[in-house]
Amino acid sequence: MLLYALRRLIYLGPVAFGVSLLVFALVHLAPGDPISAIVPPDTPKEVVDKLKEYYGFDKPLPVQYVRWLLVTLSGDFGTSIGTGRPVSQEVGSAFGNTIILAIAACCLAFSLAIFLGTAAAYAKSRIVDRLVTSIALVGVSVPHFWLAIVLVIIFSVELGMLPPMGLGPENATGWRLDWPHIRHMILPTIALSVIPLGVMTRTVRSTIKEILSMEFVTALQAKGMNDRQILLHVLKNAAPVCLAVMGLQAGNLIGGSILIETVFSC
């Protein structure tokens, strides 16, 4: 087990290297060069060359890559040539808001999914199972940015209950855990949680169903263990698969929040 974990960690090296190459390549895929984005089009060529030299854009790409990698690894993300502010600050504040939203959506989606999935797997009546499977299906099929718009239409435009956009009340700075801020989070959190909810409910349901059909469950029942204790055994066995899918979903959720945040942006 420890050996396996170590081996996976060693694999991480080349993969991280590949990821850094990909990120670097992505920036250079963009048409045009970064200097022409910040200077007026009639800037004399000498000035542009000077700027290129200053930022190091005149060096060949591999040299730029190594320089960027070394500097980034030391924790310095540089300054944005667009705004002149440190990149870590620019990204950090935006990332913080995304993370708050993502955590809320994760909590909502995962807790509901574990409950619904387990209920469906245990359900004796077909109706419960059908209902949960339908919810899961809607979750994986609904375009979440559209759902966000629909939620805004229903709760903000028609009912006027919740704010349609923004991060918190006007003229408030930063984020605090109070009702005015939470009010702004309700709709985006719901919209963001539908996809992980659908995927996780499906995963939890099928995993628990599979475990319930295993012989050890019958053995535990024969031993006379009560249902609550058996459920604990079952959940423990379902945890690895479910946790793995949760990890992937959490990553996807941070990516998907771009779409939701667009809907709720001012």
Partner 1 sequence: MAIQSPSLDLTAGAGTGVRLTPVAITRGYWQSVARRLRRDPVTLVCGVVLLLVVASALAAPWLGLSDPYKTSMIRRLYPIGSPNFLLGTDELGRDMFSRLIYGGRLSLFMGVTPVVLALLIGGFLGITAGFLGGRVNMLIMRIMDVFYAFPSVLLAISLSGAMGAGAENTLLALTLVFIPPICRVSESVTTQVRGFDFVEAARASGAGTLTIVRVHVLGNVLGPILVYATSLISVAIILAAGLSFLGLGVKPPEPEWGLMLNTLRQAIYVNPVLAALPGVMIFITSICFNLMSDGLRAAMDVKA
Tell me: does residue 225 bind partner 1 (CB under 8 A): no
SS (H, E, C) 185-248: HHHHHHHHHHHHHHHHHHHHHHHHHHHHCCHHHHHHHHHCCCHHHHHHHHHHHHHHHHHHHHHH
Residue 167 or 194: which CB sits closer to partner 1? 194
Q: Provide the minimum distance between the beta carbon of 98 and partner 1 in the complex, in angstroms, as a whole number.
A: 11
Phi, psi (deg, nearest 5) at residue 79: -110, 150
How far is 213 from 83, CA to CA, in rounded Å?
Answer: 60
Tell me: does residue 149 bind partner 1 (CB under 8 A): yes
Residue 144 or 184: which CB sits closer to partner 1? 144
For the chain, helix, strand, coil in percent to 5 are 75, 0, 20
Tell me: does residue 137 bind partner 1 (CB under 8 A): yes
How many residues touch partner 1 under the rule CB under 8 A: the total is: 40
Interacting residue with partner 1 among 22, 127, 159, 222 (CB under 8 A): 22
Interacting residue with partner 1 among 15, 127, 222, 266 (CB under 8 A): 15
Tell me: does residue 241 bind partner 1 (CB under 8 A): no
Look up residue 186 and give its two tokens.
Answer: 């309700």
How far is 131 from 119, CA to CA, in rounded Å?
Answer: 11
Residue 232 or 258: which CB sits closer to partner 1? 258
Tokens 């995962």 correspond to: 110
Interacting residue with partner 1 among 100, 142, 172, 235 (CB under 8 A): 142
Look up residue 111 and give its two tokens.
Answer: 């807790």
Q: Provide the minimum distance between the beta carbon of 67 and partner 1 in the complex, in angstroms, as a whole number.
A: 20
Interacting residue with partner 1 among 168, 188, 196, 256 (CB under 8 A): 256
Look up residue 42 and give its two tokens.
Answer: 């009639």
Q: Which residues bind partner 1 (CB under 8 A)?
A: 11, 14-16, 18-19, 21-22, 26-27, 29-31, 137-138, 140-147, 149-150, 152-153, 157-158, 206, 251-256, 258-259, 262-263
